Amino acid sequence: METYSVELAASLSEHFDVRRWVLDGNEDGSPPGLLRYAWFLAGTMAFCLWRGRGFGRVVFTDLILFPAAVCHWLVAPAPGGWSWCTGWTSSTSGARAR
């Protein structure tokens, strides 16, 4: 997973402004503990809720970050006019379907 994430970020950074948020392993090469995972997830969720509107697209490369992806989905600018709280918005008339 780590190799995929690094290569994906490198490839995307050739075309887009990429911001990476990384949970590093321990100094001895072992993976982080559960408390560090939980803290990282909570921080990522908070970042997505408070700053997510500034990012139209976000790539989460680990399934453990699904709650953060949901947080981003709740606040992100909606492609195609869809908004989870207002339904479809028409770009021509501004009317909302409920």
76 part of a folded domain: yes
Which structural domain range is residue 36 located in?
Answer: 2-88
Determine contact, residues 64/41, Cβ cutoff 8 Å. yes
What residues does 88 pair with on adjacent strands?
82
94 part of a folded domain: no
30 part of a folded domain: yes
95 part of a folded domain: no
98 part of a folded domain: no
17 part of a folded domain: yes
Residue type, 54: G
pLDDT along the chain (98 residues), means of 10: 81 88 89 94 94 85 90 79 45 41
For the chain, counts of helices (H) and of strands (E): 3, 2
**Residue 52, Cβ density class (10 Å: 0-12 exposed, 13-18 middle, ≥19 buried):** buried
93 part of a folded domain: no
Whether the pTM exceeds 0.75: the reply is no
Determine contact, residues 52/60, Cβ cutoff 8 Å. no
Q: How many separate domains does the chain show? A: 1
Other CB atoms within 10 Å distance of the CB of residue 72: 22
- Report residue 9: phi and psi, to 5°: -60, -40
pLDDT by residue (tens digit) across 28-38? 989 999 999 99
